[in-house]
Structure 1
């Protein structure tokens, strides 16, 4: 090596971390632009219109800024408890969710069982389907007087109304899913000689799961609708009675805030059932 020779430095390839970070940030940006920004813009536009209309003299409904001002304590202190029915809006929502959990769970157990029966048995289909089709058209509040007469208590009556309202889409969708199981699946079960329990767990439920979870999503939405209506009449702690009590006290801002929370909770319930459905069906259930 001569004195004029120099040693060239070793040039390493740039680390992949910046590239991965850039791709991750780009993915987040695309997701924001695709899924978050459009509803934000539409909601902002609607709130702006509401603000303009609600700020006019003699407006029937308060503007969004007035709603926030009137309900600031409910927003910032959702868990206060002054005894009796004077509790924060979070406790009202939790009381309603507790009733929904009881009624909806019973509807899931009974609805899936009856749906399997109707889907498997032609005799059961002919005998029960007309009854189901008639009963499912009865409005939720029409069941409340009957349940109050039978249970003589508001809490089980509300649970019954949730149950009887949400069970029908579960039954119908489950039975459709069972009847649509491919004949090849049934033939395979016969060839490998699966017993009743094995056929139910390994063939029937996985094949019908997308239909079942479609019914479960409709059912949970109906459960939330039913409890709001039922609680307006049975009283006690619950978001439905909170709305009715606010109406009787002319607290319109409280009603609007409660409606926002009701919508958000209903959306969350639907998303939870949809998420479970995607996991159980491995992405074949509708999202």
Structure 2
């Protein structure tokens, strides 16, 4: 049986079907695929925050300008005796041209005087930290010790540090140990009080867990108390250093020797008021640097923002 295939004349004469790529839409799609992808736009450089810059720089500059203008106005009045800013600046250039000269035990540059004061502060403050911080932990941990020493602290803390200077002169028979003793007695109270308050504010749940786990006193101190009390402790250290630097100037003015306080008193005896104003700025700058260093130290050990 033979099968015959018949083709219509129209089918034979019809043109071949257009390929998918021959249509306009397909050509456009093909061209778009062949074209390389456009590169992503380059990130824009952040604009300079001029407002933040001026808000950070302009207020301090204006504050210093106001200080200089008030100083100039007071110095310009008759019979004030206060040197003008330009005169003080000229004296400062002369003083800091050679800050480490030595012409005898009582005639030394401002650099040696500052270093001598910092040495006394470091010794007195270090002794206060060795005594005050452990005492604060003990007072904070023990209710009996807290009730025993709180009245004594409340009685002795308001006493002016310079009132302790004659006691130091009587006991130690020397000006330098007496100044260190004054630094010690005025630095110990902030560290004792802040450390004890920090221990007392440790959540009771922490201590309950320590009792359940039967932790030793050393483990409680190293794992619970010390990390929790550290922000309070560093606050006490900052207050103590500021008080120590404040007191050493007054103590050296009374005891003499080498130190920034003695330098101020010696310049007063020489009626050199420009040097006294320079010493005031030096004392303020050194105190500011100490405060800034302790703020940076505190920020390394606490997650909270440390403010001046």
Alpha-carbon deviation of 1:256? 0.5
Kindly indicate whether residue 125 of structure 2 is the aligned counterpart of residue 104 of structure 1. yes
Match 2:167 to one of 146, 163, 168: 146
**Contact in 2 for aligned 1:162/1:223 (Cα 8 Å):** yes
Distance of 1:94 and 1:31 partners within structure 2: 37
Alpha-carbon deviation of 1:168? 0.5
**Contact in 2 for aligned 1:166/1:223 (Cα 8 Å):** yes
Say what the alpha-carbon RMSD is for the aligned residues.
2.2
Q: Spell out the pairing of 1:263-278 with structure 2 (5 A cutoff).
A: 263-278=284-299
Match 1:131 to one of 130, 145, 152: 152
After TM superposition, the score normalised by the length of structure 2 is 0.83
**Contact in 2 for aligned 1:51/1:65 (Cα 8 Å):** no
SS at 2:209 equivalent: helix
SS at 1:110 equivalent: helix
Task: Give the aligned partner of residue 241 of structure 2.
Answer: 220
Q: Spell out the pairing of 1:82-231 with structure 2 (5 A cutoff).
A: 82-231=103-252
Alpha-carbon deviation of 1:67? 1.0
Distance of 1:147 and 1:80 partners within structure 2: 31
Moved more, 91-100 or 60-69: 60-69
Task: Give the aligned partner of residue 234 of structure 1.
Answer: 255
SS at 1:71 equivalent: helix
Which 4+ stretches in 1 moved above 4 angstroms?
7-16, 284-287
Gaps of 5+ in 1: none
Alpha-carbon deviation of 1:173? 0.9
Alpha-carbon deviation of 1:171? 0.6
Distance of 2:221 and 2:147 partners within structure 1: 22
Alpha-carbon deviation of 1:80? 2.5
Distance of 1:193 and 1:34 partners within structure 2: 55
Computing the radius of gyration from Cα coordinates, the structure with the larger value is 2
SS at 1:87 equivalent: coil
Task: Give the aligned partner of residue 97 of structure 2.
Answer: 76
Moved more, 164-173 or 267-276: 267-276
Moved more, 205-214 or 166-175: 205-214
**Contact in 2 for aligned 1:213/1:285 (Cα 8 Å):** no
**Contact in 2 for aligned 1:211/1:285 (Cα 8 Å):** no
Match 1:58 to one of 75, 79, 87: 79
After TM superposition, the score normalised by the length of structure 1 is 0.88
**Contact in 2 for aligned 1:144/1:157 (Cα 8 Å):** yes
Distance of 2:147 and 2:209 partners within structure 1: 27
Moved more, 258-267 or 34-43: 34-43
Alpha-carbon deviation of 1:33? 2.8
